[in-house]
Structure 1
Amino acid sequence: MNENDRSITGFTMLAHGIFHTYELSIPIFIVVWLDAFDVSAFVLGIVVSIGYGLIGVGAIPSGVLSDAYGSRRLIVASVIGMAGGFFLLALAPNVVVLAAAVIVWGAAASVYHPAGLSLISRGANQRGTVFAYHGVGGNVGTAFGPLLTALLLLVLDWRAVVALLTVPAIGVVALGSLIEFDEDAAVSTTDGGTAPTTLESVVSDSKLLFSTGFLLTFLTIMIYGIYYRGLLTFLPDMIGDLPQFGAYAALGQAVEPAQYIYTGILTIGIVGQYAGGRVTDHVRTEYAFFGTLLALGILAFVFIPSSGWGLAPFLLVCVGLGFFLYATAPIYQVAIAEYAAADVHGLSYGYAYLGMFGFGAGGAALAGSLLTYASETALLATLGVLAFVGAGIVLSLLTVVSDSG
């Protein structure tokens, strides 16, 4: 990589890591908030769904803004906004202010992915390599952000931990102001400029984009997003409710084994994401997509029963969940590129994030409702059925491709 690529890589890796640190530390705090604010899982599920949903709802306008105003300033603004939302969380006296803080965080977080991916696509000459490192940065935040949160909760009040999580954002903002790079290095010498984006052009491109193949891919991504959010939002709480993983006292503090199992699942996701990306180089994308969704369906159904089979089988199921949950992400990203025309790839990823994070955020509300009014078994069975439905849509996608070929 040249110097410009390295600068963009470092900048986006840090910002991407912070995004996922915040995103996946929230489920750790949910366990605490249930008691601190004396609310049900249903209420917190709704609150979290709104914040997560904004990430998807804001994806398309964020992409338009990055084209109009550049990516650097949007990424810096996104990081500042995410940190501000978390700082407001630390001050929240009740669930209403908590909801407002989550909304601030979600609105700011919605800006990152369109701006970050746009920066890489326009500014990096070795785009594939930079995208790979960008993913690694996100996975590090995914795994170690929640782990750091769990460790800090051993010795500090949850409000202090939330406040401390704003500190890394200050470092990223400072670096973002100091690192020099050309945002348009990969296109400035070959492109004659971009036509202004209008509502009419977005509507026209959207009609072009939603062919049968992309529509089925979008529906599958939306189902995967519901599964992803529905599983992860209350996963530490569900594991903690299992008899063998209840809290115990150590060094004068309450230790939650469930939090460490949860962070272990996310850590396994690093391997899953790498494997998912590599498998598409050797296996047809639809087959890989079908396989991961089928595995996720099976794992959802055996998750609760496996806790009675012994510690080793249960942990093996957890490893499988972490692996296949994150292996699916790079597979669907490849599928998007294959089913979208080249001139609307940017818009296609905007819609993908709308499905993944926007519609997918409903998984948190679904989980909260089923945990409040039914049971963990009902939730996991519902998620398992959704995964099987997604796998069925992928099979129908194969049929469509065969017929069109």
Structure 2
Amino acid sequence: MISSTAAAPSLGRDIKVMGLVGVAHWVSHFYHLVLPAVFLLLHDEFEVSFAALGLLTALFYGASGLAQTPAGFMVDRYGARRVLLAGLALLSAATLACGLVESYWMLLPLAILAGIGNSVFHPADLSILTAKISPHRLGRGYATHALCGNLGWAAAPTFMITISQIWDWRVAIICAGLIGLTIVAAFLIWGADLEDTPDASAKVEHIPMGRLMDNARLLLSATIISCFLYFAFLAAALIGIQSFGIPAIINMYGLTLAEASHGITGFLLGTAVGIFFGGILADRTDRHDRIAIFGMVVSALFIFYIAMTAGLGPAMLLGLLVAGGVASGVTTPSRDMLVRAAAPKGASGRVFGFVYSGLDLGSALVPLLLGWAMDQGYPAAVFYATAGFLAVTTLTVVQVRRQVVTAEDPA
């Protein structure tokens, strides 16, 4: 684990650490939507189905999910900065290579490599924040982290479609890959504040069976499993809009590619606005479960209205998507505070790595089904699925709160 300093971190150091980690998270989320943003173009270029394109997303998140828990152990053993830079370099290089392929099938192994690179971000980022940010600013630290990630999501569709329309999709993907490689170089020069000291007690090689069983009991406890399921359902909700929101909007409402892109960007920017205010709320209450439940229910209602209502105009659709994004975003810092409360001291890399692999599981399972629904001419399934999974997340929040309260007050 990252060693804590004897003195409380200064505001300036906190801000710099938040900024560096935020940039890394921005890049990782930006890459999540590099390929989905041009799915319509890839659909025409390679003459493949939406289900086949959904397979790319499934492989990316499947590989990321399988690698994320080992990445958490690597963070605890070797230090977050090393693992973070290695993952970012792999993700960037694999993305750049996607712009050089000559057939759809060449994208499949690159999606897996990119997913492995993506696996490091949550355990590395959140371990750095948990160890280095002052406790009274931690809610805002988590909010900044999530805010930057959502801004990365919001930037990708506009960036990719704009570059694709000026040149083509290959140039857009190559430019996206170069962004990450440039940031890796910058972090090697200016990222000293992320330097950390691995915990010698966290060695995993030749580890006694008793320690292995302790780790298994920790990660498979009711509280941690509830957190894992929360993220799985949340990701299942969001991946539909992120991967197929643009073609779904075009098919449902007859809008242009640019108008549909603006709608998805509005949802993601709305989420970012919600995260900003959610960070303030998270630092002012200890009932993070109430914030998470309220926000998810409200967001689900907005998205459900989109799914069931025909003939929405561009302005009304944009307003509903932004409102749904704001409601969802408010919950994000509180969810991270719930996970922090559930993670024992000294095990944050492992816990964050395992719990956040739920995001990848949910993201891996849903795209194939929604791609098939798109191929069958049922684009509304994208929004019905999003609303349904958002509603289900509230059940897991109740369970997490119950388990944490029980652990704190066993009597």
Counterpart residue number, 2:388? 385
Counterparts in 2 of 1:240-389, with a 5 A limit? Answer: 240-247=250-257, 256-280=258-282, 281-282=284-285, 284-373=287-376, 375-389=378-392
CA contact (8 A) 1:306 1:314 kept: no
Partner of 1:226: 236
Correspondence list, 1:135-154, <5 A: 135-154=146-165
Q: For residue 245 of structure 2, what is the aligned residue in structure 1?
A: 235
Task: Give a deviation string over 1:59-79, Cα, whole Å, max 9, x none.
Answer: 111122223333333222222
Q: Structure 1 unaligned runs (5+)? A: 248-255
What is the CA-CA distance between 1:227 and the residue it aligns to?
1.0
1:16 pairs with 25, 43, 57, which one? Answer: 25
Mapped contact 1:222–1:356 kept (Cα < 8 A): yes
Matches within 5 A, 1:29-178: 29-123=38-132, 128=138, 131-178=142-189
Cα distance 1:319–1:97, how it changes in 2: closer, same or farther (>3 A)? same
Identify if the C-alpha distance between structure 1 residues 138 and 401 changes in structure 2 by more than 3 Å, giving closer, same or farther. Answer: closer
Contact 2:21-2:145 within 8 A present in 1 as well: yes
AA in 2 matched with 1:353: Y
Q: TM-score normalised to the size of structure 1?
A: 0.86
Decide whether the 8 Å contact of 2:142 with 2:333 is kept in 1: no
Check the 8 A contact 1:71/1:115 in 2, yes or no: yes
Query: What are the Cα deviations for residues 77-107 of structure 1, in whole angstroms up to 9, with x where unaligned?
Result: 2222112111211111111101122112111
Report if aligned partners of 2:230, 2:396 keep a CA contact under 8 Å in 1.
yes
- C-alpha distance in 1, partners of 2:297/2:43? 33
Aligned residue identity for 2:52: V
Matched residue count: 393
Counterparts of 1:272 and 1:137, CA distance in 2? 12
Q: CA deviation at 1:242?
A: 3.1
SS at match of 2:192: coil
Structure 2: 5+ residue runs without aligned partners? 1-9
Residue 208 of structure 1, CA deviation: 3.2
RMSD (CA atoms): 2.9
Q: Distance in 2 between matches of 1:82 and 1:400?
A: 36
> Does the 8 A contact of 1:143 with 1:267 survive in 2?
yes
Q: Counterparts of 1:123 and 1:398 in 2: how far apart (Å)?
A: 26
| Paired position in structure 2 for 1:252 | none
Amino acid at match of 2:70: P
SS in 2 for 1:165: helix
Contact 1:306–1:317 under 8 Å retained in 2: no
Match of 2:7 in 1: none
Mapped to 2, the partners of 1:8 and 1:402 lie a distance apart of 31
**TM-score for both structures, normalised by structure 2:** 0.84
Rounded to whole Å, the distance in 1 between the matches of 2:80 and 2:346 is 20
Give the match's secondary structure for 1:58.
helix
Aligned equivalents of 1:324 and 1:393: distance in 2? 18
CA deviation after TM superposition for structure 1 residue 58, in Å: 1.3
1:196 is matched with which residue: 184, 203, 222?
203
